[in-house]
Amino acid sequence: MGQVACAEAARLARPRTRPAPSRAIHAAVMHCLLLVCEAFCPRRLGASPGKARGPGPASAARCRPFACHHAAHLNKAQPSMRLTVSLRLAVATAFLAGSVFAQDARPPAAATLPLADVHFHLMTFMTPADLKARMEKHNIQWTISAGAFGIPDVATPMERDAGAQQLLKDRYIPATGLYETYHAERKVGVRLYTDQPSPEREELLRSIEEQLAVQPRVVAEMVPNAESSSVLPTFRRRIATDGPYYRQLLTVAKKQGRPVPMHMQFHRESVQQLSQLLQDQPDGIVLLSHCGKDSAAKDVRVMLEKHPNLYCDLSFRGAPLATAESRQDPARLIFWGKSLFQSAGMKPEWRQLVEDHPDRFMVGIDDVHSWGIYDDTVTAIREGVLAQLTPATAEKVAFRNAVRLFRLAAPDAAVAGAEPAAQQRAP
C-alpha cells in the first residue's frame, strides 16, 4: 500500500495549473498520501524503520522528490490557501477511511427494510404515478396520508387522496379531517373547538365519521398547537387539547379503531391537557405527530410511561427537513444522515428512548417540496434512525408498529424482504 501511495504522490507532485479551490483539495490529498508513505515506507522517506515522521519541514526535505516538494511550492505561492494541520488531518482521515473501507462496504439491514410512512402529505407537484415510483425506489410499502394538498379548480384534498389510492390500492391509506377542520375554523374561529354546543363542530364530526366508515381511511393530522410550527397562519395558535372537539373526535376515531394524529408542540399546558385526554379515554389512541415537534426526550418519556395509548411518529424531526428550524431551536432536530463532514446519527437520549419503548415509534416523511428532498429524507430515516437501533427495534419502527396500529395489509414483498430480527445473522 505504501509503494502505491508514494507512486501516486510522485505523480500528483508534477507541476500543473489548477484553480485555487482545487489547490486546497490537492494539498489535502497530498497530505493523506504522505501519511500513508510515512506509515508504510519510512525508508523511502529517509526515516528509520519504525520511526515514521510527520510531514514537518525535516520530512518535507527528505521527500522533496515526491509530494512534499509540490506541497511546499503551493504553500509558498499561495499563503492564503494553506490548510491548518488539524484540517489536513481531518480531510486526510476521511480520504483514507473511504479508500480502505469502500471495497468492504455492505448494505446494512436498515438500508433494505420495508418502510411504512405514517405521516405523508401529497403535495401539489406530486402525481400518484410519481409517488408510486418513489415508493418502489425506496422500498416504502405503505404510505398513510396525513391530509393531501388540494389543487384549486383541479382537485380537492380528498379527490387527490382518492387518486393515489386508486393507483396504489391498499398501499396508500387516504385521510379525512384536516382541511375540513381548517375551513371550519376559518369560518367560525377557535370556538369550533371550545363552544358547547357547536352546530359547526357537530356537522364536521359527522362528516369525519361518515368518511372513516369507508375503509380504509384514517384521521388526518389535527393541529391543537402549532404556535411556531405551521406554514398556515390559521394554525399558528394553541387550543385546548382536551377540549370538546378533541374529546369527541377521539370517540369517533376509536369506533373505527383509528388513532388521532396530533401536531402539538410541547407547551406545558398542552402536555397537561393531552395527559388528561389520554387518561379520560384510555381506549382511544393518539399518535403524536413529529413526536411533539419541539419536545425533549425526557418529557416524551414521561408521557409514554404514563399513557400506554400514546404513540409517536418521527416525521420532520430529522435532516434535511428540520435543519433550518433547528438553528433557532436545536431541540427540533433528532437525527440526520451522513454527509461529507458528518456521520449519520441520532441524539443518544432519543435513541435510548426508542430502544426503551420500541413498540411506540414510527417513521414518516411529512411534507416535502421536491422529490430530491423526499429522497434525502428517506435516506436520513434509514441512516439516522434505523441504522442506529438494534435490528429488532429497527424492524418495529420501520414498519411493524404501523402494520399493527393501522391494521395494514402486508404485501408479500414486505414480508419476504424483512427477515425477523431474531433470525438475522450478525454482520
- pLDDT, average across residues 306-323: 98
Cα angle value 347/350/351 (rounded, 5°): 85
In angstroms, the Cα distances linking 14 to 56, 75, 79, 82 are: 20, 15, 20, 19
Which grid coordinates belong to 124? 401539489
Triad 375, 380, 383: Cα angle to 5°: 125
In this prediction, residue 413 carries a pLDDT of 52
CA nearest neighbour of 266 among 302, 307, 218, 235 = 302
Q: Give yes or no for residue 332 having a pLDDT over 90.
A: yes
> By CB neighbour count within 10 A (0-12 exposed, 13-18 middle, 19+ buried), where does 172 fall?
buried
Q: In whole angstroms, what is the distance from residue 301 CA to residue 292 CA?
A: 11
Tens-place pLDDT, residues 155-185:
999 999 999 999 999 999 999 999 999 999 9
Give the tens place of pLDDT for each residue, 7-64.
444 444 444 444 433 444 444 444 444 443 444 444 444 444 444 444 444 444 433 3
**Which domains does the chain carry?**
2-104 (no CATH), 109-417 (3.20.20.140)
Report the distance separating Cα 107 and Cα 111, nearest Å. 6
Residues in the chain: 427
Grade residue 385 by pLDDT with cuts at 50, 70 and 90.
very high
Q: How far apart are CA 205 and CA 200, in angstroms?
A: 9
Mean pLDDT (the chain, rounded) = 81
CB-based contacts of 312, cutoff 8 Å, min separation 6: 287, 288, 291, 292, 300, 304, 360, 361, 362
Residue 103 has pLDDT above 80, yes or no: no
Exposure string of 195-213, with b = 16+ CB inside 10 Å and e = fewer, is beebebbeebbeebbebbe
